[in-house]
């Protein structure tokens, strides 16, 4: 049952060098640089996003992910979910409005997989970048690189995904859209949605807590994915794999690394989900095809390289 969580709102990514990271997220991926805050964090967004920012880069000694935030319908929903998170047993912390520039009060909570998440109801709405609110044109001039349209989802690795999936489904009202089951019926991957998308967040079982596999950004077409691949070669960027298609979600994709080793994805297409849909199941025995639909063979690096 949906509980008023609308969409992924932001991800704070740790990088070894903010200036180098901006070359990746702004110049290569085409995110819009919004501003820098007093802590030196850089704020960015995809051009189609109406809220002020969706990506925050923080310079740190260890790459990875600090937290992912989800936007909820309103403050009443935020209050209700705050109470339910406490009741469920999460460690919950309230982050005051303005700690992230332009973002309202955030409710931060931990999870069995070791990741930190947040909910928030309010963020300054600056509108789609470069477009008028009335009679908007198809796209704005002046976009760079891959022209990534929005922060779409992230894939997170950690222990006890059963626990985090339970938290997201029971408390936050996400639905299980896709899954990977092993022969004993254990779920080793779960793709959750709060919308019609095949995933708003995904989890894969792994002994090490709190790991980021990738942060993903949406492109409109397969041609755009191929163009992204061209740019990766032109700029001599560290490629992971692709362009290819996934079996899971059927998205068309390419993976590459930012200058601190955090994995990025740009993708297009993919399945849709309605609340009456049964989860789509892939068998762990066919994991090669589930992940890389064309090669049908697993790639060790894709499975084990995490930040």
Partner 1 sequence: MPDQNTHLIRVVNRDQSFKCASDQVLLIAMERMCANVINVGCRGGGCGVCKIRILQGEYECKRMSKAHISDAEQQQGFVLACRVFPRTDLEIEADHYQPRESYYTNRDARKAAC
Query: Is 246 among the catalytic positions?
Result: yes
Short-list 212, 228, 222, CA closest to 24: 228
Nearer to partner 1 by C-beta: 20 or 79?
20
DSSP 256-298: EE-TTS-EEEEEE---B--TTPPPEEEEGGGHHHHH-TTT-S-
Nearer to partner 1 by C-beta: 68 or 287?
287
| Residues found near partner 1 in the complex (CB under 8 A) | 16-17, 61-64, 157, 182, 188-189, 204-208, 238, 240, 257-263, 284-285, 287-288, 297-298, 300-301, 303-307
Nearer to partner 1 by C-beta: 94 or 236?
236
Query: Is 199 among the catalytic positions?
Result: yes
Closest separation between CB of residue 17 and partner 1, Å?
7
Closest separation between CB of residue 299 and partner 1, Å?
9
Phi, then psi, of 55 in degrees rounded to 5: -125, 130
Give the active site residue among 153, 178, 205, 213.
153
Closest separation between CB of residue 283 and partner 1, Å?
10
Query: Is 265 among the catalytic positions?
Result: yes
Closest separation between CB of residue 112 and partner 1, Å?
15
Query: Is 214 among the catalytic positions?
Result: yes
Nearer to partner 1 by C-beta: 229 or 303?
303
Q: CA-CA distance, 76 to 44, in Å (whole number)?
A: 28
User: CA 300: distance to chain centroid?
Assistant: 22
For the beta sheet containing 42-45, the strands, ordered from the edge strand earlier in sequence to the opposite edge, are 32-36, 42-45, 55-59, 5-15, 64-72, 117-120, 106-109, 92-95
Known catalytic residues? 153, 199, 214, 246, 255, 265
């Amino acid at each position: 049952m949906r509980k008023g969580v609308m969409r992924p709102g932001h991800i704070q990514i740790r990088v070894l060098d903010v200036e180098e990271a901006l070359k990746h997220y702004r110049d290569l991926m085409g995110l819009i640089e919004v501003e820098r805050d007093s802590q030196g964090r850089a704020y960015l967004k995809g051009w189609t996003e109406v809220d002020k920012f969706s990506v925050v880069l923080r310079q740190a000694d260890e790459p990875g992910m600090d937290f992912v935030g989800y936007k909820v319908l309103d403050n009443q929903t935020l209050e209700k979910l705050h109470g339910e998170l406490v009741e469920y047993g999460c460690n919950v912390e309230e982050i005051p409005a303005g700690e992230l520039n332009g973002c309202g009060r955030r409710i931060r909570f931990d999870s069995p997989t070791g990741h930190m998440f947040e909910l928030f109801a309010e963020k300054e709405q600056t509108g789609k970048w470069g477009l008028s609110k009335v009679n908007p044109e198809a796209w704005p001039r002046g976009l760079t690189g891959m022209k990534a349209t929005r922060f779409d989802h992230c894939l997170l690795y950690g222990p006890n995904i059963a626990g985090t999936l339970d938290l997201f489904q029971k408390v936050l009202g996400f639905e299980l859209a896709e899954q990977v089951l092993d022969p004993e019926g254990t779920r080793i991957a779960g793709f959750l949605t709060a919308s019609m998308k095949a995933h708003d967040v995904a989890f894969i079982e792994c002994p090490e807590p709190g790991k980021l596999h990738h942060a993903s950004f949406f492109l409109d077409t397969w041609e755009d994915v191929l163009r992204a691949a061209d740019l990766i070669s032109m700029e001599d960027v560290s490629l992971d794999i692709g362009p290819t298609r996934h079996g899971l979600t059927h998205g068309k994709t390419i993976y590459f690394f930012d200058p601190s080793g955090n994995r990025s994805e740009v993708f297009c297409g993919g399945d849709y989900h309605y609340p009456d849909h049964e989860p789509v199941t892939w068998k762990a025995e066919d994991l090669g095809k589930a992940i890389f639909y064309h090669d049908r063979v697993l790639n060790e690096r894709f499975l084990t390289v995490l930040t």
